Amino acid sequence: MQEKGPTPLLRSAPFYAIAYFIVIFTLVSVSVLLQKSPTVDEPIHLFAGYSYLKFGDFRANSEHPPLAKMWAALPLLAYPIKDFRTYPQWERITDGRVAETAEAAHDAMFVDNEAEPLFFFAKLQMIAVAIVLGLFVYLWAARLFGREAGVAALAIFALDPNILAHSANIHTDVPFAASFFVGTYFLWRFLREGVWWLLAITALCFALAAATKYAAPGILLAWLLLGILWIFSRQDAAAGALTRAQRSFRVAAVLFAAPVAAYAVVWALYGFRYDAVPGGAHHFHFEWFMPGEASLLRAPALFALRHHVLPEAWLYGQLSILGTLRRPAYLLGQMSPVGFYAYFPVAFAVKTPLPTIILSAAGLWLAVTGMLKRTDAAFLIVPPVLYFLLAVATGINIGLRHILPVYPFLFVLIAGAAVRLWTPGRLWRAALAILAVWYVSTAVRMYPDYLAYFNEAAGGPRNGYKILNDSNLDWGQDLKGLKVWMQRHGVEKIRFVHFGYDDPEYYGIDASYLPGTWILFDPPATQSPGVSPYIAISPSLLYSPFIKGRQPQVEFVEQFRGREPLAMIGYSIFIFKTEDAQAHAH
């Protein structure tokens, strides 16, 4: 009788688990996006991505590399979108200026075209990236710990509120996390197997990351540390069969191939053209963000500019990010003009589900004690820890999404820990079952308001604004929910202290803006005469760095701090009612 070969990874129960994941994750993500309005950055990103694809013009939104925006905008090429290069704002979009870009994006997406289908199909593109990331979470967990662990990791990924919150967003966060995680998976395989096509995919993943976000050098640093650990490893059987010289060669091959691939891909995305604007009609003013005379970065920056080492828009974006690392931030009722070192530790502690935190600690303990293979565990621990520390060192404290790449690694580690803890006895199984029920109930309970998720230790989403704001809670995503609330309660007009991008008029909301409003273009005039007793306030603006120093606006919103709102729309818009309507009319 012929002996059966090894069981494939995709078979039977795991196959159905993967199929259910794809279907259910897609349905939930689509259901959520249909109930939410675009967040602050999305219209600009989609507008910019379309301009890159359609016109080969990279003047807009150079704050980020182009790949994620181009991927999202790909379906828009099938739509007869009006040529917005005739807009007066278009010519004023130099140096990636936000206000002019926001105005042009608003007119192109919400005035001259129907925004809903444009954003729907663009967001489907982003959901597809999240699904690919989830499949690789399954694949790595299954290879390391078995198919049961793969299914567990996939379930953890699919139900994580932070993944669900950002899976459909037209932003760099999920695509960058996918490139980082998938690239590290193929790095792990290449170092063990030495197959050159694995090296090619590893390098390509790094290239995709570099074309998505300027944080890609952090990936290379993580891979360098992993390579050093692997070279001197005594546990890895694959490494033990090689001399240290052979191991070093494999590590060096990755560290050489990855930047070379990134260089080629970045140039290809910009059409192998230096000028951001076709024909060189406009150029960016690099002196605004040029490192100072004492900076070690000044000489390489000047060399890159003089010799056109990289495309103009990419260089400008990288320098602008380096020049604005320290930004205003809010944390635990305090504001800082340069951010907080405690920001990401606090954000992780309050926005990560407590079962995830508990099992992450268990996974780390099992790795330290050797119950999980240390060399393999290092590939799941070193990258997220290093990336987390790099995030802490910067002052860009505007959302947990900046450390989103940490989570896929944790999901695999957690799955490995869960499989190991399942076998010792009933007590551990009972504990895991309780954590699983807790975790699933969290995802169900938060639907569809995943962006505003805060765990029980933080007091839940109702108290989130006391700890964090901006994209942790309130990113302008609940205008549709506000309209539904107004219809249900017979409210025809509302006054608004709005943090966001969209014009409420697009959603049929009759709103007038009050002092303290922060949007990316000039607020429209009141739509109709009369004053409403209802006031809607974005919680970010209750303690906002955007109105710091503007005393009249601060005084206006201060009167609502500590008051119980009449209603919370998705936890991101608070509704108040006042009898003295005329006092707040202007």
pLDDT in tens, 99-116: 788 888 988 988 888 999
Label residue 123 by pLDDT band (50, 70, 90): very high
Q: Given a cut of 90, is residue 532 above it in pLDDT? A: no
The predicted pLDDT at position 1 comes to 40
d(CA 399, CA 173): 11
Reported as type and span, the H/E element at residue 435 is helix 426-446
- Strands 518-519 and 499-500, bridge-based pairing: parallel
More confident call, 520 vs 58: 58
Q: Given a cut of 90, is residue 272 above it in pLDDT? A: yes
Task: Please name the amino acid found at residue 135.
Answer: L
* Mean pLDDT value across residues 194-222: 96
Q: Given a cut of 60, is residue 176 above it in pLDDT? A: yes
The predicted pLDDT at position 98 comes to 74
Tokens of 552: 């009249």
Q: Given a cut of 50, is residue 549 above it in pLDDT? A: no
CA proximity to 446, closest of 197, 254, 161: 161
Tokens of 477: 């995503």
* Mean pLDDT value across residues 269-280: 91
d(CA 424, CA 429): 8
* Mean pLDDT value across residues 527-544: 80
Q: What is the DSSP string of 133-171?
A: HHHHHHHHHHHHH-HHHHHHHHHHHHH-HHHHHHTT-SS
Secondary structure of residue 36 in the 3-state scheme: coil
Q: What is the DSSP string of 532-566?
A: -SEEEE-GGGGG-GGGTT-HHHHHHHHTTTTPPPS
* Mean pLDDT value across residues 460-480: 91
Q: How far is CA 321 from CA 96, 207, 415, in A?
A: 12, 19, 36
The predicted pLDDT at position 402 comes to 94
The predicted pLDDT at position 527 comes to 63
H and E: helices and strands count for the chain: 22, 9
Q: How far is CA 209 from CA 214, 250, 405, in A?
A: 8, 21, 11
- Looking from the CA of 170 toward its CB, the CA atoms found within 13 Å total 32
* Mean pLDDT value across residues 485-496: 91
For residue 577, the cross-strand partners are: 534
The predicted pLDDT at position 496 comes to 86
Per-residue burial over 298-323, b if 16 or more Cβ lie within 10 Å, else e, is: eeebeebbeeeebbbbbbbbbbbbee
Task: Please name the amino acid found at residue 520.
Answer: L
Q: Given a cut of 50, is residue 51 above it in pLDDT? A: yes
CB count within 10 Å of CB 117 equals 12
Q: Given a cut of 70, is residue 140 above it in pLDDT? A: yes
* Mean pLDDT value across residues 287-292: 76
* Mean pLDDT value across residues 178-188: 98
Most confident range (mean pLDDT) of 78-92, 223-237, 427-441 is 427-441
> CA torsion 101→107→110→115, rounded to 10°?
-70
Reported as type and span, the H/E element at residue 366 is helix 354-368
Label residue 182 by pLDDT band (50, 70, 90): very high
By mean pLDDT, which of 77-86, 112-121, 293-302 is the weakest?
A: 293-302
Label residue 3 by pLDDT band (50, 70, 90): very low
Label residue 367 by pLDDT band (50, 70, 90): confident
Distance of CA 566 to the CA centre of its chain: 31
d(CA 256, CA 220): 10
d(CA 342, CA 395): 10
* Mean pLDDT value across residues 536-556: 67
Secondary structure of residue 331 in the 3-state scheme: strand
φ, ψ (nearest 5 deg) of residue 301? -65, -45
Label residue 31 by pLDDT band (50, 70, 90): very high
CA proximity to 476, closest of 517, 535, 524: 517
The predicted pLDDT at position 4 comes to 45
Label residue 586 by pLDDT band (50, 70, 90): very low
More confident call, 167 vs 320: 167
Percent of residues, the chain, with pLDDT higher than 90: 55
Residue pair 242/188 in contact (Cβ under 8 Å)? The answer is: no
Across all residues in the chain, what is the average pLDDT? 88
Residue pair 64/70 in contact (Cβ under 8 Å)? The answer is: no
Q: Given a cut of 90, is residue 357 above it in pLDDT? A: yes
The residue length of the chain stands at 586
Percent of residues, the chain, with pLDDT higher than 70: 90
Secondary structure of residue 42 in the 3-state scheme: helix
d(CA 407, CA 128): 18
The predicted pLDDT at position 197 comes to 96
Q: Given a cut of 80, is residue 341 above it in pLDDT? A: yes
Residue pair 465/474 in contact (Cβ under 8 Å)? The answer is: yes
Q: Given a cut of 70, is residue 129 above it in pLDDT? A: yes
* Mean pLDDT value across residues 244-268: 96
**What would you report as the CA-atom Rg of the chain, rounded to the nearest whole angstrom?**
25
* Mean pLDDT value across residues 396-416: 94
Tokens of 52: 């890159």
Q: Given a cut of 70, is residue 95 above it in pLDDT? A: no
* Mean pLDDT value across residues 83-92: 86
The predicted pLDDT at position 548 comes to 46
* Mean pLDDT value across residues 409-417: 95
Reported as type and span, the H/E element at residue 173 is helix 173-193
CA proximity to 376, closest of 238, 252, 182, 244: 238
Burial of 80 (0-12, 13-18, 19+ CB in 10 A): exposed
Label residue 5 by pLDDT band (50, 70, 90): very low
Label residue 97 by pLDDT band (50, 70, 90): low
By mean pLDDT, which of 144-148, 304-308, 538-542 is the weakest?
A: 538-542
φ, ψ (nearest 5 deg) of residue 518? -130, 110
Q: How far is CA 161 from CA 37, 50, 102, 439, in A?
A: 18, 29, 29, 10
Q: How far is CA 372 from CA 145, 375, 428, in A?
A: 9, 9, 17
d(CA 536, CA 485): 11
Secondary structure of residue 178 in the 3-state scheme: helix
The predicted pLDDT at position 54 comes to 95
Secondary structure of residue 241 in the 3-state scheme: coil
Label residue 143 by pLDDT band (50, 70, 90): very high
Domain-by-domain residue ranges, the chain?
12-35+123-274+324-436, 42-113, 474-584
Per-residue burial over 31-48, b if 16 or more Cβ lie within 10 Å, else e, is: ebbebbbbbbbbbbbbbb
Task: Please name the amino acid found at residue 375.
Answer: T
Label residue 585 by pLDDT band (50, 70, 90): very low
The predicted pLDDT at position 582 comes to 47
The predicted pLDDT at position 424 comes to 67
